[in-house]
């Protein structure tokens, strides 16, 4: 079965997690953990993403976040691309660090929010790095310490406030309820690393025999929630997919306008050409396509006959070229 496209829908709770490639580690020293955390804090602030819970293990990470805009793909790409580059530079190594793609599961807030906060923070116990909830406070690389009052471990202050409010509006009561709920969640030993029929209903493989295909098809492996919630998420995702920006411009019209502005033939943009004006024009096109119109780097790369990484690098360079040029902006109309 083909891999389903990743969902990128704003204002939903996302459980994001990834693991290391083979027997390698994602974090091998304190500098690795600190680098990841600092990058994450900057990126979620810039992209308007809330963080309610997080845990970093040597070979895995777990995040519970909510974006205000459709920026999950952008946020994770910025975080992981930057972290991998820094990791390879620090350790003078090469090759893949992560095992495949990261996972991003959209989660229904009721009844899962409290359980997910606790599950993310319980990962050091579930993976054998500490043994008890009391010992969990000694684990450095987790948002649990922020939940019990250590503000220096707070990645997102507003996010922590919202996490507390899931338990109580009173901070002291919320902390006590949170600790109690940790034990409840640990005892239940539920698996939230995925969506679909089985996890959303708490079923087991034995229940398959008493469940019809029509019942199962109402769920989605990318979503943890009931059928109505799944239906709503997919409907919103489809609406966003088909919605054109108010300042929409077709790729063909954009290429023609940019080529005209830089006074170069359109064909030059798709040929090997080191001319500076051609390079500037490519950067502007990539910037508008990726950052203004929201097209994926992979799609823009194919259109411009360059690889996706080059398209995204061009887009970064194109930002200043375009934003600091009123005449060009007026011409393009975006």
pLDDT for the residue numbered 130? 95
Contact at 8 Å (CB) between 155 and 146?
yes
What string of DSSP letters covers 268-289? GGGS----HHHHHHHHHHHHII
CA-CA-CA-CA dihedral for 203, 204, 209, 215, to nearest 10: 30
pLDDT at 83: 94
Tokens 């949170």 correspond to: 178
In this prediction the pTM is: 0.77
259 versus 150: the higher-pLDDT residue is: 259
Average pLDDT estimate for 120-130: 96
Contact 299, 73 (CB under 8 A): no
Domains and CATH numbers, the chain: 13-193 (3.30.70.1290), 251-332 (1.10.1750.10)
Pairing of strands 60-67, 103-107: unpaired
Smallest CA-to-CA distance from 120 within 26, 75, 56, 37 is with: 56
What does pLDDT average to over the chain?
90
pLDDT (mean) for 73-85: 91
> Position of tokens 């823009």?
300
Distance, CA of 213 to CA of 10 (rounded, Å): 30
Q: How confident is the model at residue 80 (pLDDT cuts 50, 70, 90)?
A: very high
């Amino acid at each position: 079965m083909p891999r389903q496209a990743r969902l990128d829908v704003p204002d939903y709770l996302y459980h994001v997690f990834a693991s290391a490639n083979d027997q390698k580690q994602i974090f091998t020293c304190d500098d690795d953990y600190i680098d990841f955390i600092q990058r994450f804090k900057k990126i979620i602030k810039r992209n308007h993403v809330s963080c309610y819970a997080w845990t970093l293990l040597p070979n895995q990470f777990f995040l519970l976040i909510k974006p205000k805009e459709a920026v999950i793909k952008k946020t994770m790409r910025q975080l992981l691309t930057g972290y991998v580059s820094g990791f390879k530079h620090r350790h003078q190594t090469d090759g893949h660090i992560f095992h495949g793609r990261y996972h991003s599961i959209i989660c229904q807030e009721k009844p899962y929010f409290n359980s997910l906060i606790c599950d993310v923070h319980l990962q050091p116990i579930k993976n054998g790095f500490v043994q008890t909830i009391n010992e969990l406070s000694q684990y450095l690389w987790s948002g649990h310490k922020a939940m019990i009052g250590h503000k220096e471990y707070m990645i997102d202050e507003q996010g922590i406030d919202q996490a507390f409010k899931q338990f109580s509006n009173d901070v002291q009561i919320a902390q006590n309820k949170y600790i109690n709920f940790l034990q409840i969640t640990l005892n239940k030993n539920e698996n939230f690393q995925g969506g679909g029929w089985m996890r959303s209903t708490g079923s087991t493989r034995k229940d398959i025999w008493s469940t019809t295909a029509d019942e199962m098809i109402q769920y989605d492996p990318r979503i943890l929630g009931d059928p109505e919630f799944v239906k709503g998420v997919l409907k919103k995702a489809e609406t966003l997919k088909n919605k054109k920006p108010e300042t929409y411009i077709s790729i063909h019209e954009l290429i023609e306008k940019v080529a005209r502005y830089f006074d170069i033939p359109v064909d030059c943009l798709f040929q090997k050409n080191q001319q500076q004006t051609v390079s500037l024009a490519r950067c502007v096109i990539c910037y508008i396509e990726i950052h203004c119109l929201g097209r994926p780097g992979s799609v823009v790369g194919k259109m411009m006959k360059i690889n996706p990484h080059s398209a995204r690098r061009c887009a970064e360079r194109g930002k200043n070229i375009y934003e600091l040029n009123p005449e060009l902006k007026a011409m393009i109309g975006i």
